[in-house]
Structure 1
């Protein structure tokens, strides 16, 4: 069993697997040096990035994540506005302060090596950090795996017992078990999740934490629209020089409200919400993994749709939305993957679409069976979705893909609510199929930028 706060984590862009995960790993490594009494003896830290981290790490700012983690920054607390000035100072001085305290000589090119052609067997998102003494002796060497959504696993370690041994009132590890618990308890999916969350922390803290997640999502959309964010007028970082489209779309939609009614205006707003989040993510801004950064726009866009276009929407509904979405996301995390490097974008935007579809069905009054049906529809029509970012940047096709995923989630929820919850393909079946499809997918379509659009679009 995971927590909703494992699925929804506050961090920065552009990638949960390639930026947030490596930041967490590097911070853990530096903390381990301190705990082992090795921090003051460390003269140099070297990082090797393997597999997908090495192949698209430049475009995904993986080296930036490593540097920030070594400095002691955490994804949920680092101020995005300070990142580039601090990196500029590092380039100028050639010195990095481990955990903000112990200065070492650091050369970004020498000390972070991208090895996209090499892989470690445990996972395609792998990294190895090595600390050296002044005489060149190895003080510590550890491997870490960024397994999706900002989750990090250290090589050769197991989860602490305290993380898994809890008195869950309604435990579940599959969609069928989730439905069985709903029938046995008479609770909604959100009700089950809330009861389980209270095994971690008090109910008031759960609700406050989820509303904070919702607030960060709202703030992200506002920044993406350019409200209070002067950087929204500049192109996204990187060689593509891709212009932001969400601010202009927001202005057009706001002005259009005063004119003739457009029956599809809601769809335009959903596109705007999703693109605002993912353009902000691509720029390194503050986002929420949902369940990953690359798919961070889908769930917030559908929540904004609900808040804007459904009468009576309230904070209580938003808590239920996030709890339901988290329950669905946990099933994918436990039984398949949410890593684009492991199963392609079906594990990112596909999972986000499934989560948002089920959650929207829930807050629109759907039964647990209809929620499960909506989640299944959301994934069934994302099966086989590849991860082929142009230039290794989380921009093309990622920004538009989130908008498409959000619209698809709304449609999936509406389809499920038009039925009685009975359907031929179960959520467990589609999760199992997604995993098998990802295993069969060639590596060039799994966040390596070696296939698909990544090789058929000329970078300008």
Structure 2
């Protein structure tokens, strides 16, 4: 499935939400919110007697590990994933489970037993997309109806029978579906990638609002990184994976003291800039974000939750070790990254359930590589070349999470994606793109062809790969 002709904003690609998965947690949460809106528009909310939720395909097979059932319940309660206090998730779930009641949209209480009313249909899959869920409703008058939604990756949700083209009729000054389109506009206008993207963003809102929103995205990213580097213990879910960001952060800082994020940054800079030191910090940043993600923490899809650590880690590297610590440079970085992600979404997929992990870590690495290259002074062609290099060396990467949890191998893969992004950028900056044999559009097509050929057991189902070859006994999953 290829979703083309969408006008996609930077704020569609970078969404603030809750972990551990944009397609399995944030998407179903948003689907439940959309369903509530549908009930409200039809003036049926107060008439609902009971609701049953059906999870299909990948959502069913790895839904427990990804917290899909939790996300759906929070959505049905009308909670906002951007603002909901993640520390209250457990208490909220306990209340619903113990009382066997749910307060729809915070206004209408009905009987609801998660054990009975959320069904994981692991042997059934709907043809449009593996990540499907249906809401079946019975009203007080006995009337029944259902709506089906698809979580297509990165927190994007499509209602069955509803075309994404109907949702967004915004006419952009520089319409872009492919890397060739983007390069065309750059050459024609003389603008770099981020400038073209900003002109498109101006079709939605004032430039000042876009800049403010992007800085808020970065603020959530850096808070997540900081929190992850200062939280210890085991990750939830039953694998008892030990957090590593905390100990690595402590080891690298050598007891240097600080009280907040700015002090932390200053303390890191005091350690110098030798290669091993920088490499360890990039890994630490990526680990920290995805350990938070695995713990139902607040993260930013970049372009997904499972790959949320790559772009923050590379941006933090740019800020700390490449003189990138200004608001304008941070905005430029994230604008460039977002457009590369949009091109991958339109030409292939950003859903691991459709394309394996190449669609998540691979895409995030390409996004980060392009962003870093532009910010380091690369040409438009070098920027796109960096994205191509990063994805070329993620082609075929499978998604095989152990126990359906976004932990092994997902967390470490973010460190690999970040390092590959930096390497791809360096290669592009030292290369002449006119001599390149592979274009970004060619590698995107190849990624999609590979996704179509990939066995479904390697597409976020936990039916193959590491998920079946690691003999781990789970006590909670």
TM-score bracket relative to the smaller structure: over 0.9
The answer to whether 1:22 aligns with 2:28 is yes
Shift of 1:74: 2.3
* Alignment partners' CA distance in 2, 1:175 and 1:239: 42
* Alignment partners' CA distance in 2, 1:240 and 1:381: 29
Correspondent of 2:371 among 351, 355, 359: 359
Residue 45 of structure 2: SS of its match in structure 1? coil
* Alignment partners' CA distance in 2, 1:259 and 1:148: 39
Shift of 1:21: 0.4
Correspondent of 2:151 among 146, 150, 153: 146
* Alignment partners' CA distance in 1, 2:275 and 2:383: 26
Shift of 1:83: 1.2
* Alignment partners' CA distance in 2, 1:111 and 1:260: 56
CA spacing shift, 1:456–1:138, aligned 2, 3 Å: farther
* Alignment partners' CA distance in 2, 1:449 and 1:162: 33
Matching residue of 2:67: 61
Shift of 1:77: 2.0
Matching residue of 1:164: 169
Matching residue of 1:456: 469
Correspondent of 1:445 among 422, 438, 458: 458
* Alignment partners' CA distance in 2, 1:161 and 1:267: 45
After the TM superposition, which residues 146-295 of structure 1 pair with which residues of structure 2 at under 5 Å, given as runs? 146-159=151-164, 161=166, 163-166=168-171, 168-226=172-230, 232-255=231-254, 262-295=274-307
Matching residue of 1:389: 401
The answer to whether 1:411 aligns with 2:406 is no
CA spacing shift, 1:192–1:396, aligned 2, 3 Å: same
CA deviation digits over 1:206-231, x for unaligned, max 9?
000001001100000011012xxxxx
Query: Which runs of 5 or more residues in structure 2 are unaligned?
Result: 1-6, 256-267
Moved over 6 A (4+): 256-261
CA deviation digits over 1:257-306, x for unaligned, max 9?
77797531101000000000000000000000000000000000000000
Aligned pairs, how many? 453
TM-score, length of structure 2 as denominator length: 0.93
CA deviation digits over 1:151-210, x for unaligned, max 9?
0000011236461342x2222211111111100000000000000000010000000000
Matching residue of 2:4: none
Matching residue of 1:34: 40
Matching residue of 1:429: 442
* Alignment partners' CA distance in 1, 2:272 and 2:390: 32
Correspondent of 1:125 among 124, 127, 131: 131
The answer to whether the 8 Å contact 1:291/1:329 transfers is: yes
CA deviation digits over 1:229-268, x for unaligned, max 9?
xxx2231111101111101100011118777975311010
The answer to whether the 8 Å contact 2:318/2:324 transfers is: no
* Alignment partners' CA distance in 2, 1:335 and 1:105: 43
CA spacing shift, 1:70–1:259, aligned 2, 3 Å: closer
Correspondent of 2:9 among 3, 22, 36: 3
The answer to whether the 8 Å contact 1:130/1:138 transfers is: no
The answer to whether the 8 Å contact 2:49/2:139 transfers is: yes
* Alignment partners' CA distance in 1, 2:108 and 2:253: 51
The answer to whether the 8 Å contact 1:33/1:140 transfers is: no
CA RMSD of aligned residues (A): 1.4
Matching residue of 1:229: none
* Alignment partners' CA distance in 2, 1:236 and 1:249: 16
